[in-house]
Amino acid sequence: MYFVNAPFFLRWFYPQVTFNRSRKEKKIYLTFDDGPIPEVTPFILDTLKKHNIKATFFCVGENIIKHRDIFERLLAEGHAIGNHTHNHLKGWETEEEHYLRNVEQCQQLTKASLFRPPYARAKKSQLKQLYPKFEVVFWDVLSGDFDQTLPPEKCYQNVVRHSKNGSIIVFHDNLKAIPRVTYALPRVIEYLLKKGFSFEKLTA
């Protein structure tokens, strides 16, 4: 089970985490987790480039190493980069020192000012060590593209029904997400542009 909108108790439990930007401006922040990978990240980049949109990619360190050319394209095309750990670790299941070392291993590659814990699962003690170094970013709209039981159309509806001023939206550039992100992303962009939203990348 997962929540399309970040529930109040998650915001309460993580009071220092960013869930959205200002509600006063008609701006949307697209974010992509888990890449880069050749199977779908180039499609995402092509889609963003078509509309002259900048987004934020929370990258896994081991994928940067495997696919350095795609990572370099992310940088060259002006997108923001976030740290998503080196091995996509679940913080709740990882000893603190190991988790922090893994974040630092990814940081050597990303040089990021933004961090998003995989699965939104990190211990408060882990995040306490990371807050001085990063803006820790969750989201307020979860597309559900990672859910292999979710029809692509429902993924699209999840985003357009819940997006509003300042929304931080999560898609994924991983293998599980491909059928849904390739269907939903172009349609989400076109819909929100017609509604008068602009798209921005996250900056700490």
Give catalytic residue positions.
33, 172
194: which DSSP letter? H
First to last CA, the chain: 30
**Peptide linkage before 118 cis (omega within 30 of 0):** no
**Residue 199 and residue 53 in contact, taking contact as beta carbons nearer than 8 Å:** yes
Return d(Cα 178, Cα 29) in angstroms, integer: 20
In three state form, how does the secondary structure of 81-110 look? Answer: EEECCCCCCCHHHCCHHHHHHHHHHHHHHH
Of how many residues is the chain composed? 204
- The CA–CA distances, whole Å, from 73 to 127, 134, 168, 180 equal 30, 23, 23, 23
| Nearest CA-CA partner of 39 in 197, 174, 187 | 174
Host H or E run for residue 27:
strand 27-33
